[in-house]
Amino acid sequence: MGKVRQIDHPLIQHKLTIIRDVRTGAKEFRELVEEIATLMAYEVTRDFPLEEVEVETPLCKAKARVIAGKKVAVVPILRAGLVMADGVLKLIPAAKMGHIGLYRDPETLNPVEYYCKLPNDIGEREMILVDPMLATGGSASAGIGFLKQRGAQNIKLMCLIAAPEGIARIQQDHPDVEIFVADIDEKLNSHGYIVPGLGDAGDRLFGTK
């Protein structure tokens, strides 16, 4: 079963509470989502392997460490994942970026694909798929499926808030994928919204409602 890591750093929890608040407007909401994603990226990259190199300081030559192995690609699920991707890129500016366009059909709650453009070497990259909300898990499961179809082998999923149903879905469909979340909420309501959640992440980020 895929591992779930809840990142309960005080800064992340504090900022998450502000974005849950219905009174928080789009500008502050966007800024905080980006900041939380940057902080989460610190943990998501924690197990990246290091290798030893030689560096010449102003005083002498020294052994030091740099990140080894695979390079990174960040893939937001459009559109709400876009702002999280910006937050991850603050920490890993050389990462390549892909985009997966999915929206959830409001009746069936099934994901509908409308766009997919990925770097062509994703098989050699550490993939970080980002989307603020893991509700039924349908969108993230489909997104991971697209990455795998195109050759991705190492995928981490990073979400702000997950419902237990969404976590169970990813663990069932993609047991190899590690899930990073800032919080796990109680349940989904009859419209597939996470409760207590933060509402519709895309609408709150972009002020579309």
Is 200 a known active-site residue? Answer: yes
Q: Residues 111 to 170: which contact ligand PRP by CB under 6 A?
A: 111, 131-140, 166
Is 108 a known active-site residue? Answer: yes
Closest CA relative to residue 181, chosen from 171, 191, 173: 171
Q: Residues 64 to 83: which contact ligand PRP by CB under 6 A?
A: 77-80
Q: Which CB atom, from 119 or from 192, has the smaller least distance to ligand URA?
A: 192
Closest CA relative to residue 74, chosen from 95, 53, 55: 95
Q: Which CB atom, from 175 or from 207, has the smaller least distance to ligand PRP?
A: 207
Q: Which does 134 bind (CB under 5 to 8 A by kind): ligand PRP, ligand URA, none?
A: ligand PRP
Is 203 a known active-site residue? Answer: yes
| 3-state secondary structure string across the chain | CCCEEECCCHHHHHHHHHHHCCCCCHHHHHHHHHHHHHHHHHHHCCCCCEEEEEEECCCCEEEEEEECCCEEEEEEEECCHHHHHHHHHHHCCCCEECEEEEEECCCCCCEEEEEEECCCCHHHEEEEEECCEECCCHHHHHHHHHHHHCCCCEEEEEEEEECHHHHHHHHHHCCCCEEEEEEECCEECCCCCEECCCCCHHHHHHCCC
Q: Which of 4, 39, 109, 184 binds ligand PRP (CB under 6 A)?
A: 109
Q: Which pair of tokens denotes residue 83? A: 């702002």
CB of 22 to ligand PRP, least distance (A): 17
CB of 205 to ligand URA, least distance (A): 9
Position 92 contacts ligand URA (CB under 6 A): no
Position 133 contacts ligand URA (CB under 6 A): yes
Q: Residues 9 to 38: which contact ligand PRP by CB under 6 A?
A: none
Q: Which CB atom, from 95 or from 134, has the smaller least distance to ligand PRP?
A: 134
> Which residues here bind ligand PRP, judged by CB under 6 A?
77-80, 103-104, 109, 111, 131-140, 166, 192, 200-202
Which positions touch ligand URA (CB under 6 A)?
133, 135, 192-194, 197, 200-202
List the catalytic residues.
104, 108, 200, 203
